[in-house]
Structure 1
Amino acid sequence: MQKKVMSTLLGLLLLMFVVWVGTTERTPVSKTQVTTVAYAPKVGYQMPPIALKELPNGSISMNDLKGKPVFINFWASWCTYCRLESPDIAQVYKKFGSKVIFLSINATSQDTLSNAKAFMKKYGMNWPVALDTTGAAARKYDIVALPASFFVDRNGVIVGKNLGPLSHKTLYSELERIAK
C-alpha cells in the first residue's frame, strides 16, 4: 500500500515538473537566431504578420514595422480597463513616441467606428490606430480579453506581453527596454 502511494506521489511530482517546465517564459532570442524564429503571439517569437486599415485613410502592415521597436495595444471603447490605461499610454507616448512605434488596434468587430473615434479624441491618441473590423488580428494574436499589449524589439520579436490593464510602471519600463 505504501509503495503504491509513493509511486503515485512520485508520478504526480514528475507530472508537475513537466508542466512547470512547459509553462515558463522562454529566454530572449539573440539577433542571430531571429530568422529561424516562428511567428506566434508569445514572448520569444516573431510578431504575427497582419495588415489592417489605419485611421484616417491608410493601411498598416506589421512587416513594415520591422527594424523598429513597436508597442501594440488592443483595445475597445467600451472596455473599462482600456479607459483606465489610456491616459498613461498617452503620457508615455510624449516621451517614447519618437523612439518606439505605437500602434493601437481597435477591436472594431466588437466596437463601433464612431465610439472608437470618440475614444481616440477623448484620450488624445495621436499615434497610429488600426481597425480590426473582422477580428482577424485579434485571432492571430490570441486576444481573449481587452486590453492586451505587446512589446516588440527591433527584430520583430515579442519581448513582453501584458494581458489586462498596464500599470504605469510596467508600461514605462517595457518601453524603456525596447527603445534602447
Structure 2
Amino acid sequence: MLALIGGLAYKGYGEYQASQQPEPMSINGDTSVLGGLEIGQRAPDFTLGTVDGATVSLSDYVGEQVVLNFWATWCPPCREELPELITFGEETGIPVLGINVTKNERRGQADVEAFLKEVPVSFPVLLDEAGTVEKTYRVVALPTTYVIGPDGVVTAKQVGPVDFDWLHDQTN
C-alpha cells in the first residue's frame, strides 16, 4: 500500500513539474533574419570611424567590389585569417574593410590599437563602437565576411574564417 501511494505521489509530482514548464516559443519563420544578411540582398550603407581618425562609408566604394570582414581582437579564427585578407587585398586591389566589433572588446579602441601594433594590416580598420553595423548586418558569429558587388548587392558570405582561395573564387 505504501508503495502504491509513493508511486502515485511521484507520478503526480512529475505531472506538476511538466505543467510548470513554459510553452515552447515559435521561431520566426522569416529565415532572412536568421544568420544575417544573405546573398542577393542589398548591403546597407554605413559610415564608421577608423583607428586613424578618418571616416569610411560603404558608399565610398560604389561601382567597386568590396570585402567586409567583421572581426574582434580576441577571436582566434579572426586572427588566423588576417594574413589571408591582407594578401588578398594587396594582390588583387579589391578593397577590404575590416570592421572591428569594438563594443565587444574589453578595452574598446585601446585593444584594437594594441593589436594593430603587433599585427599591422594594409586595409582600413573600422570601429563599430556601438555595434550598429554588426546589428544592421545581423552578424551572428565572428569572423563573418561579405563580398559586396559593384552594384551594392551581397554576392558572397562566409560565417567563419576565410582564406585567399575562397576570397579569390568569390570575387571572380
Normalised TM-score (structure 2) = 0.74
Match of 1:9 in 2: none
Match of 1:168 in 2: 164
Amino acid at match of 2:127: L
RMSD across aligned C-alpha pairs, in angstroms?
Answer: 1.9
Q: Distance in 1 between matches of 2:76 and 2:68?
A: 18
Q: What's the offset of the Cα at 1:147?
A: 0.3
Q: Distance in 2 between matches of 1:92 and 1:81?
A: 17
Match of 1:93 in 2: 89
Q: Which runs of 4+ in 1 moved over 3 A?
A: none
Secondary structure of the residue aligned to 1:41 is coil
* The structure with more radius of gyration: 2
Q: Distance in 2 between matches of 1:74 and 1:121?
A: 19
Write out aligned runs for 1:92-131 (5 A). 92-96=88-92, 98=93, 100-111=94-105, 112-131=108-127
Q: What's the offset of the Cα at 1:42?
A: 1.5
Q: What's the offset of the Cα at 1:153?
A: 0.9
Do the aligned partners of 1:108 and 1:134 also contact (CA within 8 Å) in 2?
Answer: yes
The percentage of aligned residue pairs carrying the same residue is 30
Do the aligned partners of 1:90 and 1:123 also contact (CA within 8 Å) in 2?
Answer: no
Give unpaired runs (5+ residues) of structure 2. Answer: 1-28
Amino acid at match of 1:153: G
Give unpaired runs (5+ residues) of structure 1. Answer: 1-18, 24-39
Do the aligned partners of 1:90 and 1:124 also contact (CA within 8 Å) in 2?
Answer: no
Secondary structure of the residue aligned to 1:57 is coil
Q: Distance in 2 between matches of 1:135 and 1:142?
A: 10
Match of 1:54 in 2: 50
1:45 paired to 2:41: yes
